[in-house]
Amino acid sequence: MGKKTKQIAIYGKGGIGKSTTTSNISAALVEAGYKVMQFGCDPKADSTNTLRGGEYIPSVLDLLRENSRVDAHDAIFQGFRGVYCVEAGGPQPGVGCAGRGIITAVQLLKQQDIFEELDLDYVIFDVLGDVVCGGFAVPVREGIAEHVFTISSADFMAIYAANNLFRGIQTYSNKGGALLGGVIANSINTDFHREIIDDFVEKTQTQVVEYVPRSLTVTQAELQGKTTIEAAPHSEQAGIYRRLAKRIAGHTESKVPSPLDAKELRAWSAGWADQLIEIERRSERLVANA
């Protein structure tokens, strides 16, 4: 028997920087000497691109589409410093059931005992957007990830998605499912952004794991098909990702969050929107008076 693999799931609204952040966490962990697998759970199958020089890999479901029996090894590819990359993949947009696809892909690797065989320290699931159906909740369910992190900006829609995820976690929490590690606050460049996120985590009884600012370094690295850790290892941003990776690696105690209900969430966001408008007005007055 090898060591126990630590399994982590990272969720967040589409376009929020999930894959970017997850890939940098994976890169930072392999750099620190751990054996890591990043498992992309998104029909687009592009979670691990920046770990492999911008290259796409065939997904588990691509293989399943061609053959009824699939050797999971055929779906595992190595990238930056040996990180293992897997993409669940999915049907074409508009047909089939992507949620069932995620279930099928995750089960295939589990059934073939891949995590144990590769003697992994970390498996990080990078999961598409919201928990819209049972399929996308699979990494949260019993026996898969133990800790869930959500990536959110201070944007209200991203926070709604995070709150929905909390509801999913709450549902599975008494059935042996994963618990919440905290929020990775992304694109946080002002104090105001920070205040919104801080207030949200306080209301929902969780914590911010790390504040990640928006940075051009990330964009430049992505354009090269690389993570920031690989493309700009000495940058400030790389340092932030390493700190985040370290926190996640060292994280042990997850909790059941207290998601806001629809009414509370609306009231909460309306309160912040009023403040936001007030700030905008003030800055407009300053410009006019100048």
- List residues binding another protein (CB under 8 A): 61, 64-65, 68, 90-92, 95-98, 100-101, 104
Give yes or no for a contact between 247 and 254, defined as CB atoms under 8 angstroms apart: no
User: Is 255 labeled as catalytic in the residue annotation?
Assistant: no
Count the neighbouring beta carbons within 10 Å of the beta carbon of residue 214.
Answer: 14
Closest CA to 211 of 236, 228, 189: 189
According to DSSP, the residues that pair with 88 across neighbouring strands are: none
- Which residue among 62, 121, 130, 198 is the active-site one? 130
The 3-state DSSP class for residue 238 equals: helix
User: Is 126 labeled as catalytic in the residue annotation?
Assistant: no
In the complex, the smallest distance separating the C-beta of residue 68 from another protein, rounded to whole angstroms, is: 7
Residue among 92 and 289 whose Cβ is closer to another protein: 92
194 contact partners, CB below 8 Å, separation of at least 6: 154, 185, 188, 211
47 contact partners, CB below 8 Å, separation of at least 6: 18, 19, 22, 23, 38, 39, 40, 41, 87, 126
Alpha-carbon span 197 to 16, nearest angstrom: 14
Q: Is 175 left (phi over 0), alpha (psi -120 to 50) or beta?
A: alpha
User: Is 175 labeled as catalytic in the residue annotation?
Assistant: no
Please give the order of strands across the beta sheet that includes 6-12: 77-78, 84-87, 36-41, 122-127, 6-12, 147-152, 179-186, 208-212
Amino acid symbol at 107: Q
In the complex, the smallest distance separating the C-beta of residue 210 from another protein, rounded to whole angstroms, is: 35
For 17, phi and psi rounded to 5 degrees? 105, 25
Give yes or no for a contact between 50 and 225, defined as CB atoms under 8 angstroms apart: yes
User: Is 110 labeled as catalytic in the residue annotation?
Assistant: no
In the complex, the smallest distance separating the C-beta of residue 105 from another protein, rounded to whole angstroms, is: 9
In the complex, the smallest distance separating the C-beta of residue 41 from another protein, rounded to whole angstroms, is: 13
Active site residues: 13, 18, 44, 130
